[in-house]
Structures are given as C-alpha cells and as structure tokens.
Amino acid sequence: MSVRDYIRERFMPHIWCPGCGHGIVMNNLIRAVDHLQLRKRDIVMVSGIGCSARISGYLDFHTLHTLHGRALAFATGVKMARPELKILVPMGDGDATAIGGNHFIHAARRNIDLTAVIMNNRTYGMTGGQYSPLSGPGNTATTAPFGNIDQAFDIVDLARSAGASFVARTTTYHVTSMIKILEKAIMHKGFSVVEILSQCPTYFGRKNRLGNAVDMMTLYKNNTTPIGSAAKRENPDLLERGIFVQEERPEYCAEYEKIIKQAMGAQ
C-alpha cells in the first residue's frame, strides 16, 4: 500500500509546527507497518495528550485518544482483552515520564506486549513550552526562564531498569535505522520501548538558541553514535543509539492465560 492508504486525509493538514520531528516519526512508523505487511485492522494505536498524541487521529488504524499520561493504562486493557492485536502507543515527555511515569515502569515490569514509541523533544510543546522530565539541567523553558535545575531521565536506563525486554533509541535524522528498529520493536513479544529524539524548533530550539529544524537534526547527527562505537570511546559525551535490550522473557498476557486455564481446571 502507499503511505496515503494509512492516513485519515480528512484530518489533514496536521497541526504540528513547521519543522516538528513528529511527522518524520509518523512517516517511518507507517513504513515499518507496511514493510511488516500488517493488516490495519490488526493494529490498535492508543495515545494520551500532547503533540505526539495527535498521531492516533491521523492514522487509519483502530485508535483510542485517551487521558494525559494514561495511554499505557488504556493500552494494557485493550491488550488483555484482545491479546492477538498489535498495540502501538505513541507518547511524549509527559505521557511517558511525568504524569505517565508510573504506568510506564509497571508496563515494563509486567513485560506486557505493547510497543511504546516515545518522542523525546525535551519540552511540553502543545501547552506552551514548559520544561519536562527530559529537558535536562541548564536548558531554558517558559517555566524555567533562568535555566532548568532538574536532572533528566535517561529513558533507555529507566526502561531497562524497570524490566522492558526491548529497549532502543534513535533520532529523526537516522530514518533508515528508525524503520528497522520500529519493525523489530513491533514484532517483539514483550514490552518494547523506542525512544526517538524529535526536534521541537518552535519551543525547545528557540528557547535554547539551537537554530531551526535542520540545525537541530544536524545536532542529532553529530552528537549521537552507534552503540559501542570507537567514537564513543573517544568522546564519552556522545549519546548512543541502537538496540540496547532485546531479550525473550515471559510475556504478561501469555502468563495470565496460564492462570486462567489453571483456575478453570481447578473448578
């Protein structure tokens, strides 16, 4: 199918700002689904609130647009009721690590078969550019005009520590690897986390004098490196990208089905 077959054109044009990285994420998520030849009716996309959450309105899958920070809670309910479906959960800074942080760590702990796509633009873009748990110290925001003093979460470390069985990071610059990572994440049997660094020139870029969208994507090119590269050994400040965790572990719905059968047999 073509890209247009996956889009609800009646909701176009989209509301993302010019240069926003989220459109790149949506485009490559479509390409990953198309490469896997998944049927649209076998996919459910669940989102919360924010710039990232608009993807559920633009794509022609079964979709739920839910409460801020509760996307994984709703997604868990869908997966428990229909475990045969592929559940995609696009999230932003808040849905994943602020108001949604508790749901995030417990979804990882359970290893339930969901794919969390976390678009990390280091700001709350839809509500005016406030700082988020991913902004990092020293950066400015509308709610931190003299600089943020909060340390940032490392999503990879957080997901790995909480028990996610697939953990990866990429950027909107590295689109070819993004598609491949998303394909593997979607097909992985367990809780999959894909962090995607996504530029927000309107708020984070402007407030921190990082230039336009092209300038910010150039930073992703120059300041990241594949896992275990020689460049990382030479410059420890580079951020690694790639697949950090890919392990086969007991999946929650499968284990729950065993409990059901055990209970039925005990009657």
Of the pLDDT bands very low, low, confident and very high (cuts 50, 70, 90), residue 2 is: confident
Nearest to 243 by CA among 163, 156, 115: 156
| Residues shown for the chain | 267
Question: Which strand ranges, in their side-by-side order, compose the sheet holding 43-47?
Answer: 62-65, 43-47, 86-91, 115-120, 192-197, 166-171, 239-246, 224-226
Six-digit token string for 59:
């794509």
Structure tokens at 138: 């020293």
116: which strand partners? 89, 193
Radius of gyration of the chain from its Cα atoms, rounded to whole angstroms = 18
Contact between residue 113 and residue 83 where contact means Cβ atoms under 8 Å apart: yes
Q: Are 6 and 40 in contact, with CB atoms under 8 Å apart?
A: yes
Residue 221 to residue 204: CA distance in whole angstroms: 18
pLDDT grade, residue 4 (50/70/90)? confident
CB 96 within 8 A of CB 52: no
pLDDT in tens, 242-254: 999 999 999 999 9
Helix (H), strand (E) counts: the chain: 11, 8
| pLDDT of amino acid 267 | 59
Q: Which domains does the chain have, with CATH numbers?
A: 3-265 (3.40.50.970)
197 against 69, higher pLDDT: 197
Half-sphere exposure of 127 (CA within 13 A, CB side): 13
Mean pLDDT of 24-50: 95
The per-residue pLDDT of the chain, averaged, comes to: 95
At 264 the pLDDT is 87
Q: pLDDT digits over 111-142, tens only?
A: 999 999 999 999 999 899 999 999 999 999 99
Counting Cβ atoms within 10 Å, is residue 30 exposed (0-12), middle (13-18) or buried (19+)?
Answer: buried
**Which of 58, 234, 251 lies closest to 164, judged by CA?**
251
19 residue type, one letter: G
Counting beta carbons within 10 angstroms of the beta carbon of residue 17, is it exposed (0 to 12), middle (13 to 18) or buried (19 or more)? middle
In the beta sheet, which residues pair with residue 166? 192, 246
| Residue that the structure tokens 């979460």 belong to | 153
